[in-house]
Amino acid sequence: MSKEAKIYGYLAEFANAQEIYHAAEKIRDAKYSRWDCYSAFPIHGLDAAMGLKRSKLPIFVLCGATLGFITAISLAYITQVIIYPTVVQAKPANLFTIPAFFPIMFELTILFSGFTVLFGVLGLMKLPCFHHPLFNSKQFSRVTDDGFFIAIEAADQQFSAEATRELLESIGGTNLEVVYDEVVEEVQSKA
């Protein structure tokens, strides 16, 4: 009895950083949208070669920082002016007591920004991911050592088993491997 596994996509190896860079440009030009490049180190300009847009993270961080700043002003004003008025040298605290409020405004702005970065990165990268189908590949473990790989997902609208394989071979991909969503094991029953 055999169990059929769902295909995740193709994994192709490239010889060096220059080859993977040019291969990324050709895959981008072929209008694939669900694919990624993997290497042991960052490759300058690969984001542009892949056609990736700028990250949305700075917008999230700006919103988080603004929320932290507003929270700090509200907290300081409500506690020092409304709930428990502080009088220093016969002068009551008011909205214009910014020097006294500055430390908490600075700290909460930085704190909210930091948490926004942490949770924004985790959300945008879809982490934590406890298992990825590429971990089923025998050759993918070399990516952290000396390998350069491109994986094209079968979920891509442009994906065609034959055409995608031909594209990867034509742009210099070697050691092409079909990657499955789960490990394929054959179980035979003794009858």
Q: What are the boundaries of each domain within the chain? A: 7-52+129-180, 57-124
Gap between the Cα atoms of 35 and 153, Å rounded:
6
User: What is the pLDDT averaged over residues 39-52?
Assistant: 96
143-187, pLDDT tens digit by residue?
999 899 999 999 999 999 999 999 999 999 999 999 998 865 544
101-147, pLDDT tens digit by residue?
899 999 999 999 999 999 999 999 999 988 899 999 989 999 999 89
pTM of the full structure: 0.78
Give yes or no for residue 9 having a pLDDT over 70: yes
Task: With cut-offs at 50, 70 and 90, classify the pLDDT of residue 59.
Answer: very high
